[in-house]
Chains A and B, each alone.
Chain A
């Protein structure tokens, strides 16, 4: 799975979650979009829902099984969940580290 596909998948899930909750934010959703902190487009429960949706989509659409909220993610000084881009980077790393997820 290519990095751009991962980012698109995250953005698609994020868009779906935000639309379900109300109108989309005025700013376009990009790799810079914050998922954590004061300028985040989601609240904490929204982030949980996003991570669950991303996990499900990775599995159902690409057959990739990962646990995003793993020990490493939780112990990092800078959370990999802080933006769309960092989440995409983290998923790319998890996929590359697991030989069963070799790039097609």
Chain B
């Protein structure tokens, strides 16, 4: 591979995305990240794009910028995600559509455009963020879990479609981590989820980074279409 790895991570303004950006920069990668609003931090070897992952124009513009500056992409981590915990009968249609658009269609669009760039070098790693809400079937998270379930199925089929181009596609599904995503969930509900997990503790950023490293590793070229649920879900 010529030069440092080029890694693109979505949703890097804060939380897991920011941690992964810092993690890959520490490892010597050139990291590209995006969010709809600007982050309040800067990092050497990190380039931020103001982009909405549900906008085809924004995503194309970001990919064109990466192609012009690096002419390749090695790793894509689709981390952007939103949630709205609600009983299904109280879920506004607009909220449901927003969750599906951001979580699933955003992931789809990023994968589609990244695969085109990765095909040039016949090598790539696509890592999508799922959720333990899928196997745990958490009440109040029907739409969120469905969006993550869509990501899981999509990734598994994508893995077959892109295998011939040397691109692997996998999912890491974290246990609850203290991010904005779960900030509005009552502590007793989080505890109830943790009590059902074999590893009954909150997830850590490092847990996610460890699995992302495994999927992104050059030696993982036969690992594709897989889902790893953290915490033992």
Contacts and interface: CB of A to CB of B under 8 A. Distances in A.
B153 interface: no
A28 B67 CA distance: 33
A34 B64 CA distance: 30
Contact of A45 (B60, B64, B71, B164): B164
B164 A55 contact: no
A49 interface: yes
Interface string B78-105: 0000000000000000000000000000
* Interface footprint category on B: 10 to 19
Is the contact region of chain B dominated by helix, strand, or loop, or is it mixed?
helix
A49 B164 CA distance: 11
A65 B64 contact: yes
B56 interface: yes
Interface of A: 45, 49, 52, 55-56, 59-60, 65, 67
Interface of B: 56, 60, 64, 67, 71, 115-117, 119-120, 164
The 3 A-B pairs at the shortest CB distance, nearest first, are namely A52-B116, A52-B119, A65-B64
18 contacts: A45-B164, A49-B119, A52-B115, A52-B116, A52-B119, A55-B116, A56-B67, A56-B116, A56-B117, A56-B120, A59-B64, A59-B67, A60-B67, A60-B71, A65-B60, A65-B64, A67-B56, A67-B60
